[in-house]
Structure 1
Amino acid sequence: MASAGQALADNLNASERTHFVLVPLMAQGHIIPMADMACLLAEHGAQVSFVTTPVNASRMAGFIEHAVATGLAIQFVKLHFPAVEFGLPDGCENTDLLQSRDLFKNFMEACAALREPLTAYLHQQRPSPSCIISDMSHWWTADISREFGIPRLTFNGFCGFASLLRYIIVRGSLLEHVEDENELINFPGFPTPLQLTKARCPGSISVYGLEQIRKNICEEEIKSTGVVMNTFQELEALYIESFEQITGKKVWTVGPMCLCNKDINTMVARGNKASIDEAQCLRWLDSMKPGSVTFVSFGSLACTAPQQLVELGLGLEASKKPFVWVIKAGDKFPQVEEWLAQGFEEQVKNRGLIIRGWAPQVLILWHKAIGGFMTHCGWNSTIEGICAGVPMITWPHFAEQFVNERLVVDVLKTGVEVGVKAVTQWGHEQKEVTVTRDAVETAVSKLMDEGEAAEEMRMRAKEFGVKARKALEQGGTSYNNINLLIQEMGNQANASG
């Protein structure tokens, strides 16, 4: 990872460096891209303070060790997280540790209580902060930016397509008076045809008591200096341009950040338990034909019902195609384990690898044996699939995942829908089978067969993979944007200082 950017960093006097403060939402899907961002900024000569907490820092131990070993100018700010003070269990410092989504308000209030200790820490730092890049949900970081007289940029982990749609929905209060979850909604100002039901729109998830926090987030979003996005111009230029026009804000596309170091998501998540090690996984993949394997994984927060997992497994079996299947079923996992032990795992052992819990996703996606990716369409997973040049089967669950599905299927034309009929709300267990085994078999066959349509999808996916890599190479659009971001934020900080 030490590169020309590192050499540049070494040649800079510490007092001359632009100093970024990165404040991620304490959730794996938000921490991982921010960790990537920290590396990219440091490689290009900036200094970074990365805000975390003890539990999250322990999960990131491998990444922290890597940053220290490679000499990257990243300081890890480990702040005490006041979980107990805000009615949370001790050590509940990440959204995946919340026992109920009803505790999300408590979690957000605990996050806001980090403002004073973070401010005190930053007052002691030299050079002083030049810019805060904060998860959009951390509205309270705006107070810190005002106290230091520095810009605050927001980051929410969405792509340009979903960011634009979310902004149009929020600005026009489009969901406020829609009572029917299945009513189709139009989006005035969106540059290409798009209709979605309320249930499939970002922002449709309601958590009791968050009204004031939502208001604070929106007010500070309007005041922010600009937006950092984990995407690249060549992927969705029309939507990024439209976002800038509608919001009047500068968008810094600095992705795909997962290409900064393809092992970062492994290092950040190393605290999670895996049922097999990476070497076992690679040996199994090495035994498969190139492009023959479907990788199935639904991220860290999706809560899939046991009966739906069984139906998915039977569809994979019926497809007669090789697969790697990552199963997460939370406290319901024993039910799934019982089914696996009744003969399924034995029946598919020659062409199916089952991973329980966490898996090294990027490592798997980049293996030559992988020919398709069945995904929940979270943006981190989607952009990782795009970078690997792999076509997708879309199986969205909640949040902006249904929007990302439309980008993949309709705009990029690098994927097929599995045909999800119902939304699985975050924090609520899925109650029924919404995708049949026949639908799974059909989607896998459509993506993995040798037909003309499948071949065209594969070619388009490979082309986007090449463009993704070029964006972060020297002279690429994202490479240049990172340098410009560092330069501009440094100049603004010097001017105000």
Structure 2
Amino acid sequence: MASDTESPPPKLELVFIPFLASGHMIPMVDMARLFASHGVAVTIITTTHNSLIFKNAIDRDIKSGKPIKLHVLPFPFAEVGLPEGLEKMNSVTSQGQKQKLYQATMLLKKPIQQMLLDHIPDCIVSDMFYPWTVDFAAELGIPRIVFQGSSYFALCAQYSMRHYAPCENVTSDMELFVVPGLPDRVELTRLQVPDHDRTKNELTAILDVIREAELRSFGVLMNSFYELEPSYVNHFRNVIGIKTWNIGPVSLCLSTNDKYERGHNSVVDPHECLSWLDSMKPNSVLYVSFGSQHKFPPPQLYEIATALEASNHPFIWVIHNEETIDGGDEAWLPNGFKSRVNGMIIRGWAPQVLILEHVAIGGFMTHCGWNSILESVTAGVPLIAWPLYAEQFYNEKLVTQVAKIGVGVGAEKWLNLLEDDGKVVVKKKKIEKAVIRLMDGGDEAKEIRERTKELGRKAMKVVEVGGSSYNDLISLIGELVLLRESRIN
């Protein structure tokens, strides 16, 4: 027993280093806050403008006594030739800016290292795009955990594509093939495979470095839960052989204020939005949003608008401000559209979690970003899958072929985000068909809806005491405490 004069052991200290893109930052900051809620001292390293996105939430945590803080670094705009304020990956408008932004993140390496040298934490949790942290953590004598912002299924599919190279055995871009080595029969075409998994390119080399660093890390932290993709959690751990912890869905740990501010302040009054939903029947409204990075051209927006009108369902449609600047709405909305439909268009950032949790929402048309899929599943809302880029076509197969919690819109080609964003990729008839298939209440739609709601119920339980994600979090904290004690002793 410790004497009264002995001081208590210091708190476990973790440093989180998120990548400068909303889809990476948001869940990683949520994870950091979750650790802090369990008494772990947490520091989040980010840049000036990005810190403003979640400063209010961190301030609330500090006020409530949680051991969490921000370490803010100035962004090296001048060094790479970027305009001041452009420090988020989803703000770039050209391949050149994307490369400069990536260069700038590498220039942050030295100030981050200096900060860590000044006060060595017990563990570094860094985004996959910072592979250099594994070597630096080794120099400091501490573990590095890598944050992966996608699904287990996508990681397993990517491994199979690299290991077996099935694209080399098909005779055309549209020929279906089975992804080898997975627990389920999953079919893709060569056009749906990311270009860096199809053939070697510059990104392939970067991802090879990232994967090699991942193998040398202490393990992988995932915003997922076992019950959503159990076969792929097991496959990743036992076949691919990488240690992981599931601590998601992290959006379940948010307060109402957090949900309103999640990622950015909403551009709409949430009360106005939710009041409008209150006037709708349960499961009647379609939510349409394609994430923070892709910006559709006016012809594609027109196809979406005409499909929404033809399907005759109420909707909330989130679009980017950048999508309306050339001539405003009238440049692409059908004449008289607003007077004929029962819908709400939100220009900018929407309170997505609050919207999805509303009983009136019956479906979510999404780009299949992992955060959006998790938030929809957590709310028990089935999906219309419209993958665009990154690992999203893999996520679509999880939704439509494995978990069977949604329908596909019929997207056929993986897009290079900055080269193909001006193209019409899905026509009205396909969009309308997918909306009707999910929202019109047939037997298939009822089965999909019930499966999704059951997963939503399971998601609520996994973060409670004794749940699978809660247990993984507690287990990881315990492992890190033991590592610190062995290092000190």
Normalising by structure 2, we get a TM-score of 0.91
Task: Classify the secondary structure of the residue corresponding to 1:416.
Answer: strand
Given candidates 464, 472, 475, the residue that maps to 1:481 is 472
- CA-to-partner distance for each residue in 1:235-283, whole Å, 9 max, x for gaps? 1111011111233221101111111115535424335x62x32121011
What is the distance in 1 between the residues matched to 2:141 and 2:168?
35
Write the letter of the residue equivalent to 1:352. Answer: G
Measure how far apart 1:186 and its partner are. 4.5
Counterpart of 1:188, as a letter, is P
Structure 2 CA distance, aligned partners of 1:179 and 1:431? 28
Deviations 1:42-101 (A, max 9, x none): 112211111110010122232232222322211111112223212333332110222312
Tell me how far apart the structure 2 counterparts of residues 106 and 178 of structure 1 sit (CA, whole Å): 37
Specify the alignment match of 2:3 in structure 1: none
**1:236-315 equivalent positions in 2, closer than 5 A:** 236-261=229-254, 263=256, 264=258, 266-271=260-265, 274=267, 276-315=268-307
How do 1:3-22 and structure 2 match up within 5 A? Answer: 15-22=9-16
- State yes or no: 1:468 paired with 2:459: yes
Q: Which residue of 1 aligns with 2:375?
A: 384
Partner of 2:326: helix, strand, or coil? Answer: helix
Q: Distance in 2 between matches of 1:420 and 1:387?
A: 25
Indicate if the aligned counterparts of 2:461 and 2:467 stay in contact, CA closer than 8 A.
yes
The one-character-per-residue Cα deviations of 1:153-196 (angstroms, maximum 9, x if unpaired) are 11121111011112333455666999965565544322221232
Point out the more displaced range, 260-269 or 232-241: 260-269
2:221 corresponds to = 228
The verdict on how the C-alpha distance between 1:221 and 1:463 changes in structure 2, with shifts beyond 3 A counting, is same
Trace 1:412-427 onto structure 2 (pairs within 5 A).
412-427=403-418
Amino acid paired to 1:319: S
One-letter amino acid of the counterpart of residue 195, structure 1: E
Secondary structure (helix, strand or coil) at the match of 1:295 reads strand
8 Å contact kept, 2:264–2:349: no
1:374-453 superposed matches below 5 A: 374-453=365-444
Matches of 1:262 and 1:207 in 2, distance apart? 44
**Larger mean Cα displacement after TM superposition, 39-48 or 82-91:** 82-91
Q: 1:138 aligns with which of 119, 130, 140?
A: 130
Task: Show CA shifts across 1:448-470 (max 9, x none).
Answer: 12322211111111100000110
Q: Quote the Cα distance in structure 1 between the aligned partners of 2:168 and 2:116.
A: 39
Q: Does 1:65 align with 2:59?
A: yes
Contact conserved, 1:200 with 1:398, CA < 8 A, in 2? Answer: no
Q: 1:456 to 1:482 in 2, by over 3 A?
A: same
Instruction: Report if the CA contact (8 A) 1:203-1:399 is conserved.
Output: no
Segments of 5+ residues of structure 1 without an aligned counterpart are 1-12
Does the CA contact (< 8 Å) of 1:389 and 1:463 recur in 2? yes
**C-alpha spacing 1:419/1:301, structure 2 compared with 1 (3 Å):** same
Are 2:185 and 1:193 aligned? yes
SS class of match (2:282): coil
- Provide closer, same or farther for how the CA distance between residues 287 and 481 of structure 1 changes in structure 2, counting only shifts above 3 A: same
* Range moving further from structure 2, 110-119 or 388-397: 110-119
Give the secondary-structure state (helix, strand or coil) at the position aligned to 1:434: coil
8 Å Cα contact 2:294-2:421 kept in structure 1: no
Counterpart Cα distance in 2 of 1:377 and 1:455: 21
CA distance in 1, matches of 2:172, 2:142: 43
Change (3 A) 1:109 1:214: farther
Mapping for residues 328-339 of structure 1, pairs under 5 Å: 328=320, 330=322, 333-335=325-327, 337-338=329-330, 339=332
Identity %, equivalent residues:
42
Q: For residues 479 and 109 of structure 1, do their structure 2 counterparts lie closer, same or farther at Cα, with a shift above 3 Å needed?
A: same
Q: Contact between 2:393 and 2:414, CA under 8 Å: does it hold in 1?
A: no
Which residue of 2 is the match for residue 219 of structure 1?
A: 212
1:401 alignment partner AA: Q
Q: AA paired with 1:450? A: G
- Is the CA contact (8 Å cut-off) linking 2:302 and 2:334 kept in structure 1? no
Alpha-carbon offset, residue 292 of structure 1:
0.9
Corresponding letter in the other structure for 2:51: A
Gap change, CA 1:491 and 1:180, over 3 Å in 2? farther
> Structure 1 residues 376, 181: CA separation in 2 closer, same or farther (over 3 Å shift)?
same
* 1:200-239: CA deviation from partner (whole Å, max 9, x where unpaired): 2346389985565444323212211211111111111110
- Do the aligned partners of residues 447 and 183 (structure 1) sit closer, same or farther apart at CA in structure 2, a change above 3 Å counting? closer
The RMSD of aligned alpha carbons is 2.5
Change (3 A) 1:177 1:291: closer
Q: 1:86 aligns with which of 70, 80, 91?
A: 80
Aligned to 2:354: 363
- Alignment of structure 1 residues 173-188 onto 2, 5 Å: 182=174, 184=176, 186-188=178-180
Q: Could you tell me which amino acid in structure 2 is paired with residue 240 of structure 1?
A: V
Deviates more, 1:86-95 or 1:39-48: 86-95
Q: Distance in 1 between matches of 2:171 and 2:122?
A: 45
User: C-alpha separation between the residues in 2 aligned to 1:341 and 1:203?
Assistant: 35
Give the deviation of 1:330 after TM superposition: 2.1
Q: 1:52 aligns with which of 39, 42, 46?
A: 46
Deviates more, 1:439-448 or 1:481-490: 439-448
Which of residues 308, 331, 335 in structure 2 aligns to 1:316? 308
